[in-house]
Structure 1
Amino acid sequence: MKAVAKETHTRGVNYELMEAMAQIAREKSVDKTILVETLEAGLLSAGRKRFGQTANIEVKFDEPSGRILMKLTRRVVEDAEDPAAEIDLEEAQQYESDARIGQDFVQELTLEDLGRNAIAAAKQVLVQRVREAERERIYEDYHDRVGEMVRGTVQQVDRGNIYVKLDRSEAILPPREQIARDRYHQGDHIKAYIIAVDKLARGPQIILSRTHPEFLRRLFESEVPEVAEKIIEIKGIAREPGSRAKVSVLSNDDKIDAVGACVGIKGSRVQAIVRELGGEKIDIVPWSQDAVVFVTRSLSPAKVLEAQIVEAEQKILVTVADDQLSLAIGKGGQNARLAAKLTGWKIDLISKSERDRQKDFERRSRIDIEDLEAAGPKLREKLIRAGIETVQDLLRAPMEEILAIQGIGEKTAERLIEEAKELQERRGRELAEEVARAAAAASQQASLEGAAGEQSSPVAEGTPAEEGALSGQDDAAPTEPKPEEAVEPEESGGDAREETRSDAS
């Protein structure tokens, strides 16, 4: 026996459930099929909680009409022992007078028959499933878009986090990924870079950044067509977000100037990027395969006099004019630090006067291999052919390399090294004595000049003209130490240089 299902009224609890489902479908853009399947599963679960886990309940959602059809099928028996699967004959005949023992009795159910608690549980299942479906949709839509720049609208700013509306999804811009100067309010438009899509996150799954170096690359692609079309290639980016950035560029077309194209007419292109980044200064550097040339360019706006690769220490020694040292270092060592990051080289900055002193010291410290008395003419020639031209070269060379030279045994090598050490120590003492004598002479000269300035001359009592001449000399006297004072910026510059070396590395 089958009973015809009645139309379930879409009022009360049923109406609330339908409205909730319709609203979720609109706001979350979830597939209706998923909603229907979830609703049917939720109502089935609610029905079994009400009538028993073994109850034969059928739930069907008629989408066109918005009706929910639910039927409970039980076997008619004389005395029901299992209410979930059986119904008393007497109770069945109250619904259908011709009901007989052994027949299947189909009872229509409404949402009210399930009880409010069961309906609430069904709604909870529906909401939970919709959330899961939404998270899956967001992950599928955006996990392939990591590395893209997106545009959105600020929805909310809470505890430093900026929540951004992206089409049908929500993203978050954490404080650590924000530029310090950024100030956003609800409704503001914002550009950012997708750095991750977290499927397991409790909040928004899409993580944005405005401090990532690649965000700057995407901005150049949006503002400079040649970059987007790969005519101009961005080889590297070094950023200190909100403060300064250096970008190395290379043109794949000889007719197009990479730097000029990125800057734009009257700086229009790069200025648009600077405004987007809140005033972050951008240096555009022509890329070069030659490390020396590339490092020289990367230290712009400072002008480099000389750059030399120091292979042993894997660094580049850069010499600049004394008045360019602070510019090359930059505020807080920023210029040198960004240049090192951009080029991948450790950069050692030094002023020209300091470099000249170093070269002079190296020249005076040099001891030619000919000065070794323990080495005869033929042995010296063999050492020179092996690349050992000075005593310093000999002391730096590994013992295995020295023993590899024909005619040199272990004892000879030890004798050569011992004499080389003695010669170097002797030369060191001589240079130290020269420095001490020069310092003493300079101190004595300064004392004499100071004493002469303090002495009163008998001529001071002479004619007014003579007094005027003397007072003119006294006025000029303080200008004499100026060359010595000029050394002070070099010393402070040297200190700053030492600090910057560690920063740049």
Structure 2
Amino acid sequence: MNSELFDAIQYLEKEKGINKEVLIDALEAALISAYKKNFKSKTNVRVDLNEETGSMHVLARKKVVEVVEDPQQEMSLEEAHDIDPNYEEGDVVEIEVTPKDFGRIAAQAAKQVVTQRVREAERGVIFNDFIDRVEDVMTGIIQRKDHRFIYVDLGKAESKLPLNEIMPNETYEVHDRLKVFLTKVESTNKGPQIFVSRTHPGLLKRLFEMEVPEIYDGIVEIKSVAREAGDRSKLSVYAADPEIDPVGSCVGQRGQRVQAVVNELKGEKIDIVEWSDDPVVYISNALSPAKVITVLVKEDEKATTVVVPDYQLSLAIGKRGQNARLAAKLTGWKIDIKSESEALEDGTLQASSNDDDAYSEIEDNLTE
């Protein structure tokens, strides 16, 4: 054992961020194990590594007792006095037992410890790097595919895109570059496991943050996202400053900003609506592009009945109920949609129209 090992330990501490004391402790433990295994010793030993001299010593530790019952662990007081007359019963005597050929075994043990610790440290660095990126968007390159995952290289590590997290309107080929949403990072014996998604609503939110400076700067806030990946999504936005148009900010000049997100999501349709703390206005906005006559709110049930013109009924419900379903997800309210003729027939429209205070704002908007 020489100073080269300690030079290597100092290098690893500086370049890999592995604490030197942790490495030395692990190395001492490995050397103790190697000594006992190779020399079939049951004696309690300690390994002393001297960083200044680069030397290594194996020391047997024996307790001083009056009557020796286990020679491997104990030493008589008489034997102890032969070494040093100051020893007393109960003291621990250390005797060097370093084998002549222990250097070779020590080198092997040192290599194994350093390799293992470097691997663990690198895994720890990767885990820490990516755990801080959870719920963020990263760009990767598809490396390979199997029956469970698409494997996306994120630079420092490979991530897993589960097949139930891919978009139905996309094809995925090896070497394709794509943006993914980091959903989860797990620490395992095989290293960090990183999972990503293309269908998560968070992907839509992050893409708008990247395209719309007002969102990134906090001037415009995304309040809610409802998404049926690859087909259609709804996004509600809000600006505290009345001078700011939150919807217009997200759409961009000639629709450039929203179109950039649509292109990234391979044509997924996106409705951007203005958020409101008034459920009547908010639900009316959420059902866009359909026009709404009135909204009847049941606060205790968090449910609404929405009346739309007869010719707007299919638009309000949407294909296979998609527009109504997304609006309900976006707002968090149950939405029952009725046509104007149906509402007049069962009395819903007449009942709701009496409450001018509750619905005046939405009706004024529709009039305009």
> Residues 104 and 256 of structure 1: is their aligned pair in 2 closer, same or farther, counting only changes over 3 Å?
closer
State the 1:136 CA deviation: 3.5
Alignment pair present for 1:45 and 2:33: yes
Check conservation: 1:172, 1:207, Cα contact below 8 A: yes
Structure 1 match to 2:150: 162
Check conservation: 1:296, 1:304, Cα contact below 8 A: yes
Identity %: 45
Give the TM-score normalised by the residue count of structure 2.
0.70
Question: Using the alignment, how far apart are the partners of 2:208 and 2:176 within structure 1?
Answer: 22
> Residues 188 and 50 of structure 1: is their aligned pair in 2 closer, same or farther, counting only changes over 3 Å?
same
State the 1:45 CA deviation: 2.3
Q: What residue ranges of structure 1 are gaps of 5+ in the alignment?
A: 76-80, 86-102, 364-505
Alignment pair present for 1:268 and 2:233: no
Pick from 236, 242, 250: which aligns with 1:248? 236
Deviations 1:207-233 (A, max 9, x none): 323322222211111110000001111
1:233 alignment partner, SS class: strand
> Residues 307 and 184 of structure 1: is their aligned pair in 2 closer, same or farther, counting only changes over 3 Å?
same
- AA matched with 1:190: L
Structure 1 match to 2:284: 296
Deviations 1:298-342 (A, max 9, x none): 111112223222457542222222222111111110000001111
2:277 alignment partner, SS class: coil
- AA matched with 1:349: I
Pick from 178, 188, 191: which aligns with 1:190? 178
1:301 alignment partner, SS class: coil
Question: Using the alignment, how far apart are the partners of 1:205 and 1:113 within structure 2?
Answer: 35
State the 1:127 CA deviation: 4.8
- AA matched with 1:54: T
Give structure 1 regions of 4+ aligned residues with deviation exceeding 6 angstroms.
81-85, 360-363
Question: Using the alignment, how far apart are the partners of 2:166 and 2:33 within structure 1?
Answer: 46
Structure 1 match to 2:43: 54
- AA matched with 2:205: R
> Residues 354 and 107 of structure 1: is their aligned pair in 2 closer, same or farther, counting only changes over 3 Å?
closer
Structure 2 match to 1:147: 135
Structure 2 match to 1:427: none
Structure 2 match to 1:389: none
1:215 alignment partner, SS class: helix
Deviations 1:404-438 (A, max 9, x none): xxxxxxxxxxxxxxxxxxxxxxxxxxxxxxxxxxx
Give the TM-score normalised by the residue count of structure 1.
0.53
More helix by share: 1
Question: Using the alignment, how far apart are the partners of 1:193 and 1:266 within structure 2?
Answer: 27
Q: Equivalent residues in 2 for 1:431-450 (5 A)? A: none
Q: What residue ranges of structure 2 are gaps of 5+ in the alignment?
A: 62-69, 75-94, 352-368
> Residues 35 and 255 of structure 1: is their aligned pair in 2 closer, same or farther, counting only changes over 3 Å?
same
Check conservation: 1:249, 1:285, Cα contact below 8 A: yes
Question: Using the alignment, how far apart are the partners of 2:115 and 2:345 within structure 1?
Answer: 77
State the 1:59 CA deviation: 6.6
Pick from 157, 163, 172: which aligns with 2:160? 172
Question: Using the alignment, how far apart are the partners of 1:359 and 1:331 within structure 2?
Answer: 27
Check conservation: 2:138, 2:181, Cα contact below 8 A: yes
1:283 alignment partner, SS class: strand
Structure 2 match to 1:208: 196
Equivalenced residues, count: 319
Alignment pair present for 1:330 and 2:300: no
1:159 alignment partner, SS class: coil
More strand by share: 2
Structure 2 match to 1:287: 275
Check conservation: 1:308, 1:316, Cα contact below 8 A: yes
